[in-house]
Amino acid sequence: MFVNPSSPRHPSLHEESHPASSLPSSEVLRHKLSAKYDVVEKEFFIAGRSVTLLKVRDTNVLVDAIDPETFSDDERLPYWADVWTSSLELARWCMQDAEIRGKRVLELGCGLGLAGIAAAQSGATVTFSDYEADALDFVRYNVRRNLPAHVVESGIDVIQFDWRRPPLLEPFDVVIAADVVYEQRMFTPIKHVLSTLVAPSGIAVMTEPGRSVGQMFFASLKDSDFSVSTEITSVESDEKITPVVRAMIQRRQPV
């Protein structure tokens, strides 16, 4: 997560970047989030490591509370509040397969921040981005919960922005996103973000649960300046095995 839902995440109409070192303490963030939501911590074991995320206990409560006028304005649903299976695979890739130590990584539609935290644990400098301000408050708490203070203070940024109006940023070595390509109307904004924010020698890695619309997006990239290779992996979550498509996206090299 227009960080429109990563698994579903929405993007925002404003841009805002804050080094994590300037952000409120864990205690202040926890109090703020607990005052607004019924929260719970959940531990995930990925590639031999543990990540504990603060999350909303029951996201159905958020869906039931959506005001129809807000939804009709931008079809905003609280996709950010779930931990999607695609993000588990993306986190595993960051921890196990990626060579990202010392690289600059941008997570699009970060939601609760699982994949970005995995990238930071693997030695990357990470910028988390999402449309929803509350999602970013959860990220601010979760990075402090899972990363050493020196990593939080020197290697983490948090940005709110709209995919349709991306901020001016230096391109990244790696752009990651889990379950963001689920609506055709977002194809053009996402492709624009990739075109502007993936460095010439960089890559984007995207995961999604095998939806036909996701395959349409990857096919559409092949008609652009990018080459795409996909692989289907199996992810175990809550005692279920779910197939996830992982796409490696690179710029075409001049002939």
Provide φ and ψ at 239, rounded to 5°: 65, 20
pLDDT of residue 217: 96
pLDDT of residue 255: 57
Higher pLDDT, 239 or 21: 239
- Report the pLDDT value the prediction gives residue 224, as an integer from 0 to 100: 81
Q: What is the pLDDT of residue 214?
A: 95
Q: Contact 247/207 with Cβ under 8 angstroms?
A: yes
**Residue-wise pLDDT tens digits, 193-224:** 999 999 999 999 999 999 999 999 999 997 78
The whole-angstrom separation of Cα 198 and Cα 39 is: 35
Alpha helices, DSSP H, located in the chain: 26-36, 59-64, 68-74, 85-92, 114-121, 133-146, 149-155, 187-197, 212-221
- Residue pLDDT, tens place only, 33-68: 999 999 999 999 999 999 999 999 988 777 666 766
pLDDT, tens digit (0-9, with 9 covering 90-100), for 159-180: 998 888 888 899 999 999 999 9
pLDDT mean across residues, the chain: 87
Could you tell me the two tokens for 56?
């909303």
Q: How confident is the model at residue 157, as a pLDDT?
A: 96
**CB-based contacts of 69: which residues, under 8 Å, 6+ apart?**
none
Q: Which of 96, 92, 118 is nearest to 105 (CA)?
A: 118
In terms of pLDDT, which residue wins out, 226 or 6?
A: 226
- Look at 2 and 95; give whichever has higher pLDDT: 95
CB 168 within 8 A of CB 179: no
Q: Position of tokens 């890559």?
A: 203
| β-strand pairing of 16-19 with 198-208 | unpaired
Q: What is the pLDDT of residue 167?
A: 86
Stated pTM of the model: 0.86
Question: Which CATH number is correct for 4-251, 3.40.50.300, 1.10.600.10, 3.40.50.150, 3.30.1280.10?
Answer: 3.40.50.150
